[in-house]
Amino acid sequence: MKYNYFFYVFLFVLFVSCNSTSSKLIIAKYDSGIVNLEDVIDSYRILSDSDKSKIKTKDEYFRFVRKVALEKIIIDNATKDGLLNDATFMSKLEEAKTNASYDILKKKNVLDKINITEADYNKYKKIYEVYQIVKRNDILDTNKLEQSKKFLTKLSKEIKDLASFKEAAKKYSDDVTGASEGFVGKIRLGIMEEEIDKALENISIGKVSGVVESSVGYHIIFVNSIEQISFDDLLKDKNLYDMIYKQKEEKLENDWYDSLLKNPALKIDKKEMKSKKEDDTPIITYKDKTITRKEVLKTVDNLRQGGAFPEPTEEELYSLVKNMGLNLILQDMVKNESSDGSKDFKEKLEKERKFLIINEYLDKHVKMADIKDEDIKKFYDENINTLFTFKMDDGKIYTQDMEEVKKFIMQKLESKYIQDARYDLYRKLVDEAHLNIDDKILSVLIEKINKK
């Protein structure tokens, strides 16, 4: 038995040793360094599922290894250039430390608490066949706005069925849906604005809603039918999942902020806050930090943009002051998180540091070609029918003049030229570093990843 015990221990050690050795295999070499198999696997591991799905063939794995190697080549070059001691880079790195600390705090206090269940989908299980009549509210004449509301109110009481609603939509709606008799579509909640969602939830089939105000205008709504959609079908809707997730995130984040504001160390002097006297009277205190009335009034003035916006109400001012107090608390928490140097913080900061180095290096070395007048004209001529020609409401064809769209064309060309210049630099760096990827170890990589 003792012999067997030591035999199994030997096998275990051998297995661990082999795994450890294989992870140290060199998959790529270049003049100033190497890329271990472990480096590539680590980079692959943090990819999103979507990005992983794009790496299937041997050529795609080869390109991924080349990308990992290129990043190391850029970092080596940036280090030789002294970029890591550059004042701008150091400042951005300090900002990255703050952001990394905050992200970890938010993950602990918000993101880790998000739990989406079937109950969260219940309100979206109905599909409404919706028609609407809209009157614009983007006009300054308050009398006309009031007349529009009164007109829609009167209209909502006169309409008896879908046929009369359609006829009224064609005649009176200011919205593009008027041309299709007011038909919006078969929609679930969350597609239109919150005010309209509330109206849909409270309206009966075959009835007309009261006047609903949105950012688009004043609406009256008609629901012709309501269908049920299955939970499985809702699960396929990624946009819906993202919306539910965002709503939960916002609520949990606000709850977290509210709990932080209850910290007894935070003191706000609401009485002194109201005075317009610019002095050093403390308005907000937290531990050893203070924000004076002069600083609060300066913040207000900056937000008002020199008088472009009205003075804040007392409630708005108090909300601003609370946010300034909250910022003091968060700064303190971020500082503590950073000084703790947790594993999560170190990993996140290293990722941010790597990202910063690569982008700073590229910003300094990417040389974009000049955009010439002939380039602009060529782009305009090639895209005149697809991008710059439209059919107007009256059926006439309108083509935008080149000068009218010149700025748009320059933005498009600049984006393309920068991308081309980056690819040229990538090829140059790889060639100059004499990058060589080991085909046999590449096969080992593919085998290891496909086993997981």
pLDDT tens per residue across span 260-305: 999 999 999 999 999 989 999 999 999 999 999 999 999 999 999 8
Residue 383 has phi, psi (to 5 degrees) of -120, 10
What is the average pLDDT across 414-422? 94
Across the chain, mean pLDDT equals 90
What is the average pLDDT across 35-62? 93
Predicted structure pTM score: 0.69
Task: Check if the beta carbon of residue 235 is closer than 8 Å to that of residue 125.
Answer: no
In the chain, the amino acid numbered 124 is: Y
What is the average pLDDT across 71-80? 96
pLDDT tens per residue across span 84-141: 999 999 999 999 999 989 999 999 999 999 999 999 999 899 999 999 999 988 877 8
Q: How far apart are CA 81 and CA 153, in angstroms?
A: 71
pLDDT tens per residue across span 197-248: 999 999 999 999 999 999 989 999 999 999 999 999 999 999 999 999 999 9
Helical segments of 341-433, H only: 343-365, 373-387, 406-432
Task: Indicate whether 10 pLDDT > 80.
Answer: no
Which residues are CB-neighbours of 36 under 8 A, at least 6 positions away?
23, 24, 25, 26, 27
The DSSP code sequence of 189-201 is: TTSS-HHHHHHHH
- What is the band of 13 on the pLDDT scale with cuts at 50, 70, 90? very low
- Which among 324, 315, 327 has a CA at the least distance from the CA of 294? 324
In the chain, the amino acid numbered 38 is: E
Q: How far apart are CA 365 and CA 425, in angstroms?
A: 8
Q: How far apart are CA 6 and CA 167, in angstroms?
A: 89
The DSSP code sequence of 106-154 is: HHHHTGGG----GGGGGGGSEEEEEEEEEEE---S-HHHHHHHHHHHHH
Task: Check if the beta carbon of residue 218 is closer than 8 Å to that of residue 133.
Answer: no
Q: How far apart are CA 101 and CA 348, in angstroms?
A: 9
Please give the share of the chain, as a percent, with pLDDT higher than 70: 94
Q: How many other C-beta atoms can be found within 10 angstroms of the C-beta atom of residue 314? A: 10
- Coil, strand, or helix at residue 213? strand
Q: Which CATH number fits domain 126-228: 1.10.569.10, 3.10.20.30, 3.10.50.40, 3.90.228.20?
A: 3.10.50.40
Task: Indicate whether 315 pLDDT > 90.
Answer: yes
Helix (H) or strand (E) holding 30: strand 26-30
What is the average pLDDT across 26-50? 94
Q: How far apart are CA 421 and CA 413, in angstroms?
A: 12
Place of tokens 């170890």: 441
- Residue 337's pLDDT is what? 80
Q: How far apart are CA 16 and CA 28, in angstroms?
A: 23
Q: How far apart are CA 218 and CA 149, in angstroms?
A: 7
Domain ranges of the chain: 2-90+442-451, 126-228, 373-440
Distances (CA, A) of 142 to 10, 137, 173, 174: 87, 9, 19, 17
